[in-house]
Structure 1
């Protein structure tokens, strides 16, 4: 692990506040403004039609109730005479109620009128349902396009991040942010935006109808709204940290699983399965506790709102009954108002239920935005130096570099590698050998000094142009899922069949490939299943050969091949080194005896340089390394 790397289980950064993150997340929907206007129109129309339904249905109730009461009154008298007669009989309460009704004494229920009202209500609900369906369809398209853009932006961002970022973040946690968290954002927005939009519009529409029917009852119904707001906000505030922990621990657990899976053989070989299981159980328990607390706390929102809603319902029913008895409201209006009361509580309940989902989505958005806000590698030059860089002359001019400001690594390093030279880099672990070639590739930027290729400062070249001139073979081989042919041509997809076969023969891949089931069409996975470690290395060498770069970098590239194959590969590389510079990081000193220049590094400095024979005669650091390997002499500290 390089300096500055962190433990995958270390606590994450402090989460951002809820409102700015939610605002930023919703701001990503701005390019969909025309579609959003359309879905808002559909939502408003759907809510208006749904809100009108109970009021019109209340007219049907009035028609039925008026008909039932009217049939019980004597025919031949009008409504005013019937009311006077009831008052004369001392039935003032019944007379007050009758005064607020549209009854015709002696006339029963007008079922035709009731049927027309019900038909209108049915038509309203059908059109409202269709509008709601279309609104959900449009919203789904809007969200999926926005999340597709977010996912693409995260993918592009990863390619612009410096290598140091990946050193400081566990791979499993980063993969969790790119996959799990982005998917959770999509699901959360899909579930909440439609419900929240419809719920807010419903609350406004229902409230308007309630005030129109009875301002007094509307005031009674609104008594519980402040309580609902306070309860929801307090519970949501307490649940949010638990949702942040939930997704942070999800990333930590994914990191554990990814490491255990990638290093399964090592885990088994060293008998560490029990320790890995303990670590997994510990992080799984953390995830369980965080998830349980998040769901438990946020789950209190809906019961609290339902309780307040039921209390509201009781108050409205009692006061509404008294208003009907006094003749100030009709039975249909009270029935409609009670429906509005229940409908008024329902969207509030839905808002409360959606808050925990929204909290989870915003917690994931925070993690994704942390990736998007990370410092990127320096930009490529606006005006690129177009001079040819085909020979491969590499020069380090007083280069200094540190992973951490307080920890020196490479200080004032100068060297020149001429075209066609084989430059070997040796030294103890941590001396800076791999760092040296990483600087050539611009995986890291130098702190001072400069590196040039054929006289051109590599910072004046685009990274794509620079790296297209360099072929790199690492000690840790990596093959992608696909055929052997596709893996060889990975760095040059447009290569012809003849070029692929030539590279395969040069790297001695052709020697074993014919023994495989389908030859060059044999499919292997990213772990190289089906071929040995040495054969995997040969494929990666062939991949580098096919690109025919100006500079070859081999980081202990032949460590996994047998001695005979190693000699054959070295012979093949010798023919390919014509007018090309080759950097070889070697631990087995027997492989670099014919190097044109050997650089011996200690603590980021070149302490010796020269040929193999010259360095042995000097009896210095190289001599000590050589004897430690071949003469059994213990190297000095």
Structure 2
């Protein structure tokens, strides 16, 4: 996986040829627009190249007219010069029009490509297994969707057009220069190795600074985002000075590498101009000598000097395009790496339908580890009848939440099976299987939008009245009424304009609205006070009636009336039974239960 830079200048793709081949395949569906881009770009360049030759004719005409005037002849033919200039103007207008059309088409192609890539990435995210997101920093994934796709779009748009026009200009200008004077062309070409050599030295020196610049730009961005997100914690622990010191350290390195890379890349133009000017001197001296000997016209010297100027610029552009293509390839590679990651099977052939299922859940010798070498659930077996209320208890890290993730098929078991109404959950389509479940997690998740939209997330076609009913059942209706805007009030990105407990109630309302067959409550009341917890408990009892329910709880007082309590420790069920049975057994559950009440006493 690529880390650090985000498809930056100076970052190299691991497989340049392979990546560019994939990109060409991607661009294959835009063949016709790209053919027009090439035609219009070449057309624009050809019209532009003809300009200096025609302008040279006007100069020759003026020179010859002046010579005639001195000799007592007719003098300058202004009509002929006027016709030449009108032709010249027409060529330049056509060149500009063609350039505009090819730019318009190419921008469309690059934007369609980035739209398609972003769409594919967003669809891909939904098909990715959860363990990918456990392995990868979220900022890294975000970087591929934003920075890398942006880099790809911009560099492709610029480099493709520039490459076509630069190559066409180099060939066209060379032909025109040869048509004027092969000897002068040879002199002009001798300055090229000098300028190319100097530029390659600058590019090599600047490459490492560009790389460092992008790397530390990533570090600075990451730190700013992290500190901004945890600003309260930084303040609470008086860590402002440490944070500033770390920022300044990275920012200093960024400053050093940024100014060096910008300075070195900025030197390219002056170096090219200096070498180019030496070339002009040589060309003018030789041109004057050839004109005196009547080998070429006076206007040809002017045309030739313009061609020399036009010749060095596209060579410099080709060098820039080569650098830009490195950045295009690096960004493309990171995007393709993501798009080629292993996916989960979303559908299965002959999938079992969820219609008519009652919600009987069976765990048979389940074995699982997030890392296959490190098993955390060794041999888990349990049977849950439809409508039963099952509590899963145990110390932190016992594997309670992991069991829930396995039931929802966020992860697949390494051994054994989980069945719903006798059907292995791997025989259901994932999306259909998850329709059976409603989930309220310890970590509340609300998005930027109105409170009503957040509740309706559980059932997108629900009416306003159904949303209000669900809110009443979750004891959140009265609180919502006190807010400015009521159900229309907008939650911000962090949803921190409502309290943690209120967020919890909103997620419970969402689950109530979804009306699922099987309910999962993972520490669902951990963020609310005892009085609200009693209320939620009543709402939960209404919600759980007639539904198979899994409750993960730390506060054991909330699960006394469960039909079955599964006691987990180190990934195994060590006890199971009702509250009374487990207390009578005087084992691990009794120890957990009594320790809580000793503390509260």
Same fold? TM cut 0.5: yes
Alignment-derived partner of residue 76 in structure 2: 109
Alpha-carbon contact 1:173-1:255 (below 8 Å) kept = no
Q: Does 1:204 align with 2:171?
A: yes
Match of 2:41 in 1: 43
**Which has the higher Rg, Structure 1 or Structure 2?**
1
Q: Secondary structure at the match of 2:457?
A: helix
2:600 counterpart of 1:614? no
Cα pair distance change 1:379/1:272, threshold 3 Å: same
Task: Give the corresponding residue for 1:79.
Answer: none
CA distance 1:217–1:274, shift in 2 (3 Å): same
C-alpha displacement of 1:416? 1.8
Q: Which residue of 2 aligns with 1:134?
A: 101
Q: Residues 172 and 251 of structure 1 are in contact (CA less than 8 Å); yes or no, is this contact kept in structure 2?
A: no
Structure 2: 5+ residue runs without aligned partners? none
Contact 1:49 1:124 in 2 (8 A): yes
Secondary structure of the 1:595 match is coil
2:140 equivalent to 1:173: yes
Aligned to 2:340: 373
Query: Which stretch of the first structure deviates more once superposed, 333-342 or 285-294?
Result: 285-294
Q: Indicate if the aligned counterparts of 2:408 and 2:434 stay in contact, CA closer than 8 A.
A: yes
Mapped to 2, the partners of 1:305 and 1:228 lie a distance apart of: 6
Give unpaired runs (5+ residues) of structure 1: 1-5, 76-105
State whether residues 448 and 493 of structure 2, in contact with CA within 8 Å, keep that contact through their aligned partners in structure 1.
yes
* Residues 6, 144 of structure 2: 8 Å contact kept: no
Q: Using the TM superposition, name which of 400-409 and 525-534 deviates more.
A: 525-534
- The answer on 1:425 being equivalent to 2:392 is yes
- Please give the alpha-carbon distance, in whole angstroms, between the structure 1 residues aligned to 2:405 and 2:12: 32
Aligned residue for 1:267? Answer: 234
TM-score (norm 1): 0.87
Give the secondary-structure state (helix, strand or coil) at the position aligned to 1:311: helix
- Corresponding residue for residue 315 of structure 2: 348
Matches within 5 A, 1:217-232: 217-229=184-196, 232=199
- Choose from 24, 27, 30 the match for 1:29: 27
Contact 1:480–1:524, Cα closer than 8 Å, also in 2: yes
- 2:447 counterpart (480, 497, 501): 480
Number of aligned residue pairs: 596
Instruction: Give the distance between the partners of 2:184 and 2:455, measured in 1 at CA.
Output: 78
The yes-or-no answer on 1:542 pairing with 2:509 is yes
Change (3 A) 1:10 1:197: closer
Q: Confirm or deny: 8 A CA contact 1:51 1:202 kept in the other structure.
A: yes
Among 519, 526, 543, the residue aligned to 1:552? 519
Work out the CA distance in 1 between the residues paired with 2:6 and 2:573. 39
- Whether the aligned pair in 2 keeps the contact of 1:397 and 1:451 (CA below 8 Å) is yes
Q: Residues 329 and 211 (structure 1 numbering): CA distance in 2 closer, same or farther, change over 3 Å?
A: same
Q: Aligned pair 1:316/2:283, yes or no?
A: yes
Could you give the per-residue CA deviations for residues 268-294 of structure 1, whole angstroms, max 9, x where no partner exists?
333333333344334444544554454
CA distance in 2, matches of 1:452, 1:275: 52
| Partner of residue 60 from structure 1, selected from 52, 55, 58 | 58
Shift of 1:140: 1.2
The 2-side partners of 1:286 and 1:414 are apart by: 56
Matched, 1:570 2:537: yes
- The farther-off stretch of 458-467 and 216-225 is 216-225
Q: Are 1:255 and 2:222 an aligned pair?
A: yes
Partner in structure 2 of residue 187 of structure 1: 154
Counterpart for residue 405 of structure 1: 372
For residues 274 and 425 of structure 1, the distance between their equivalents in structure 2, rounded to whole angstroms, comes to: 44
1:249/1:283 contact within 8 Å kept: yes
Aligned-pair CA distance for 1:217: 2.1
- 2:133 counterpart SS class: helix
TM-score, normalized by length of structure 2?
Answer: 0.91
Residue 373 of structure 2: SS of its match in structure 1?
coil
CA–CA separation in structure 1 for the residues paired with 2:522 and 2:208:
45
- Asked if the contact 2:61/2:81 (under 8 Å) is kept, the reply is yes
Compared CA separation, residues 403 and 246, structure 1 to 2 (3 A): farther
Displacement after TM superposition at 1:412 (Å) = 2.6
Does the residue aligned with 1:223 lie in a helix, a strand or coil?
Answer: helix
Is the CA contact (8 Å cut-off) linking 1:302 and 1:353 kept in structure 2?
no
* 8 Å CA contact retained: 1:473, 1:544: yes
CA separation of 1:169 and 1:290: change in aligned 2, threshold 3 A: farther
Instruction: Compute the RMSD of aligned alpha carbons.
Output: 2.8
Residues in 2 aligned to 1:400 and 1:10: alpha-carbon distance in whole angstroms? 39
Cα distance, 1:531–1:435 mapped onto 2, change above 3 Å: same
CA distance in 2, matches of 1:372, 1:590: 48
The residue aligned with 1:87 is none
Q: Which residue of 1 aligns with 2:111?
A: 144
Between the aligned partners of 1:252 and 1:156, the Cα distance in structure 2 is: 28
Question: Partners of 2:127 and 2:214 in 1: how far apart?
Answer: 24
Per-residue Cα deviation, 1:154-204 (whole angstroms, up to 9, x for no partner)? 222222222222222222332233223322332323333333322221111
Query: Aligned equivalents of 1:67 and 1:258: distance in 2?
Result: 72
Distance 1:553 1:247, change over 3 A: farther
The Cα offsets for residues 298-350 of structure 1, whole Å up to 9 and x where unpaired, read as 44544443343333333322222222222211111222111101111122233
Relative contact order: is structure 1 or structure 2 higher (C-alpha 8 Å, sep ≥ 6)? 2
1:231–1:393 distance in 2 versus 1, CA, 3 Å = farther
